[in-house]
């Protein structure tokens, strides 16, 4: 990226001095929005190069995994943008292979004639008309409605490949939030797995490249262990950003916008949010918005911004009501133990034992665990461990607890170490 070398640095300075209006810092911080400018995608050079390499080679489908807010969509979109036309598709709980295909073809502007011609090969006229109608590319809406059941089954992986060939598609599509399709929809997930296989097996006959994105610990789980995943997929798992990457992000911010964060503040950004860019953007955005003409953001401004951002987050996330309003000493302490564990997980047994030693009532601890699970704040992990349901919230929970001083008194007994995990 830009700051990998001196040449890149000179280039930025050069652009600024060429009367290029500096960017507003609040358009650089994009809380909740993926990065769309490669300059601001920090710490992902190896991953970016790898994805681009794979897209250029063709044949293997790329799957980007990692937890929420880690930067999957950003990486996928930046990589996709340089290979043919680039479209983004989203999945949700109701996504079917057919609907997704329709959405993809519509976004790619595939002409009706091509879809029609391709469909004629193996569908009778009725099927074809129904599909065309559901594509909104012509045909009768009435038929589409009546025969929706049939249309749902209309596009198969082979058929999509055919259309891609006949339309001479040269495109890269992201398939975002793939994890939102319930794993229980075995057939639908299987069709996506089949598509990966067909695309891979005939990679020299088409130019349709896909990047799947999902919250998961690995690609195989995302596709229910589909056999083609090993053969036709390269998975890229994203970890948290390094401190160095976050520092370089602030260097870019300064160079592009002239907004300077004091060195100790940059260090706080680099450590407080555990390498989750999501929070760096949320708090950075606050700082930039509240700076009111002051050129350097200092520690006081930073702390105000953290407080405001924490309040905002807790305010909008109803799953955290429990912590803010209906909290009990036991729910707090259970959460703190998970937050303080090195890899954000503790075994239920060890947790209960420790809390018993600290004289917490066993029944109330049990109830707190149940309540937290019910509210989707924590969940069961491997080996009877308790983990955060959404690891993304951990930095904010930590910041919040740190702010509410009473907590420090409670944690005055030995914390978990990694051996508890064994």
- Site for ligand ADP, rule CB under 6 A: 30-35, 40-44, 66, 68-74, 249, 277-278, 281
**CA of residue 131 relative to chain centroid, distance:** 32
- Toward ligand ADP, which CB reaches closer, 38 or 190? 38
CA–CA separation, 103 and 109 (whole Å): 10
**Minimal distance in Å, beta carbon 176 to Mg ion?**
6
In 166-240, DSSP assigns E strands to 170-176, 207-214, 233-237
Residues in contact with 187: Cβ distance below 8 Å, sequence separation at least 6, in sequence order: none
Q: Smallest gap, in angstroms, from Cβ of residue 211 to ligand ADP?
A: 12
Phi, psi of 176 (to 5 degrees): -90, 155
Residues 6+ apart with CB under 8 A from 368: 328, 330, 331, 333, 334
Which of ligand ADP, Mg ion, none does residue 385 bind (CB under 5 to 8 Å by kind)?
A: none
Closest distance to Mg ion from the beta carbon of 51 (Å): 15
Of 102 and 265, CB closest to ligand ADP: 265
Which residue lies nearer to ligand ADP by CB, 93 or 149? Answer: 93
Binding partner of 41, given ligand ADP, Mg ion, none, CB within 5-8 angstroms per partner class: ligand ADP
Please answer whether residues 208 and 52 qualify as being in contact, where contact means their C-beta atoms are separated by less than 8 angstroms: no
Minimum distance of Mg ion from residue 397's CB (angstroms): 21
* Residue 206 partner contact from ligand ADP, Mg ion, none using kind-dependent CB cut-offs of 5 to 8 Å: none
- Report in angstroms how near the CB of residue 173 gets to ligand ADP at its nearest: 16
157 touches which of Mg ion, ligand ADP, none (CB within 5 to 8 A by kind)?
Answer: none
Min CB(111)–ligand ADP separation in Å = 32
CA–CA distances in Å: residue 303 to residues 97, 307, 309, 334: 47, 6, 10, 26
73 vs 162, which CB is nearer to Mg ion? 73
What is the nearest approach in angstroms of Mg ion to the Cβ of residue 420?
32
Select 147 or 177, whichever has its Cβ closest to Mg ion: 177
Backbone phi and psi for residue 41, each to the nearest 5 degrees, phi listed first: -85, 95
Detail the DSSP E strand segments found in 322-364: 345-347
Q: If contact means CB under 5 to 8 A according to the sort of partner, which of ligand ADP, Mg ion, none does residue 281 touch?
A: ligand ADP
Strand 345-347 relative to strand 385-388, pairing: antiparallel
Do the beta carbons of residue 80 and residue 63 sit within 8 Å?
no
- Using CB under 5 A as the binding rule, the residues of this chain from 58 to 97 that contact Mg ion are 73
- Of 203, 267, 257, the closest CA to residue 24 belongs to 257
Residue 277 partner contact from ligand ADP, Mg ion, none using kind-dependent CB cut-offs of 5 to 8 Å: ligand ADP
Question: Least distance (Å) from ligand ADP to the CB of residue 178?
Answer: 11
Q: How far is CA 170 from CA 55, 107, 195, 202, 330, in A?
A: 12, 13, 17, 15, 56
Q: Which is nearer to Mg ion, 178 or 396 (CB)?
A: 178
What, of Mg ion, ligand ADP, none, does residue 68 touch, CB below 5 to 8 Å by kind? ligand ADP
Q: Residues in the chain, how many?
A: 422
Question: Which CB atom, from 61 or from 73, has the smaller least distance to Mg ion?
Answer: 73
User: Which stretches of 238-388 are assigned E, i.e. beta strand?
Assistant: 260-261, 296-297, 345-347, 378-380, 385-388
End-to-end CA distance of the chain: 40
Question: Which CB, 218 or 227, lies closer to ligand ADP?
Answer: 218
* Separation CA 105–CA 222 (nearest Å): 23
Between 29 and 100, whose beta carbon lies closer to ligand ADP? 29
Residue nearest to ligand ADP (CB): 71
- Residue 3 Cβ vs ligand ADP, minimum distance, rounded to whole Å: 12
101 binds, among Mg ion, ligand ADP, none (CB under 5 to 8 A by kind): none
Does the protein bind Mg ion through residue 118 (CB under 5 A)? Answer: no
Interface with Mg ion by CB under 5 A: which residues?
73
């Amino acid at each position: 990226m830009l700051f990998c070398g001196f040449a890149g640095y000179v280039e930025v300075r050069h652009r600024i001095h060429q009367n290029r209006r500096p960017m507003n810092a609040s358009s650089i911080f994009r809380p909740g929005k993926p990065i769309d400018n490669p300059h601001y995608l920090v710490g992902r050079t190896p991953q970016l190069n790898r994805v681009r390499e794979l897209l250029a080679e063709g044949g293997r489908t790329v799957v980007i995994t990692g937890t929420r807010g880690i930067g999957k969509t950003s990486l996928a979109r930046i990589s996709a943008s340089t290979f043919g036309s680039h479209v983004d598709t989203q999945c949700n709980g109701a996504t079917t292979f057919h609907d997704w295909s329709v959405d993809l073809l519509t976004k790619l502007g595939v002409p009706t004639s091509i879809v029609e011609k391709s469909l004629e090969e193996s569908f009778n006229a009725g099927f074809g008309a129904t599909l065309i109608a559901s594509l909104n590319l012509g045909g009768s809406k009435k038929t589409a409605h009546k025969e929706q059941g049939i249309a749902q089954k209309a596009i198969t992986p082979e058929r999509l490949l055919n259309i891609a060939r006949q339309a001479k598609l040269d495109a890269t599509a992201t398939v975002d939030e793939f994890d939102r399709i319930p794993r229980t929809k075995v057939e639908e997930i299987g069709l996506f797995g089949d598509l990966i296989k067909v695309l891979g097996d005939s990679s020299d006959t088409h130019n349709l490249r896909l990047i799947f994105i999902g919250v998961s610990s690995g690609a195989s789980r995302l596709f229910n262990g589909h056999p083609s995943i090993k053969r036709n997929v390269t998975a890229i798992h994203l970890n948290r950003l390094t401190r160095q990457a976050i520092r370089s992000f602030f260097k870019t911010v300064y160079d592009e916008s002239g907004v300077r964060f004091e060195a100790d503040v940059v260090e706080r950004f680099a450590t407080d949010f555990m390498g989750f860019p999501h929070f760096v953007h949320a708090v950075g955005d606050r700082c930039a918005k509240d700076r009111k003409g002051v050129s350097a953001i200092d520690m006081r401004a930073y702390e105000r911004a953290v407080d405001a951002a924490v309040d905002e987050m807790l305010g909008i996330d109803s799953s955290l009501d429990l912590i803010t309003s209906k909290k009990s000493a036991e729910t707090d302490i259970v959460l703190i133990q998970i937050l303080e564990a090195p890899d954000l997980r503790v075994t239920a047994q060890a947790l209960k034992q420790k809390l018993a030693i600290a004289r917490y009532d066993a029944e109330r601890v049990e109830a707190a665990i149940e309540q937290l699970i019910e509210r989707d704040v924590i969940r069961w992990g491997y080996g009877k461990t308790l983990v955060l349901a959404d690891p993304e919230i951990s930095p904010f929970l930590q910041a919040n607890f740190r702010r509410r001083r009473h907590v420090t008194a409670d944690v005055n007994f030995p914390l978990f170490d990694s051996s508890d995990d064994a």
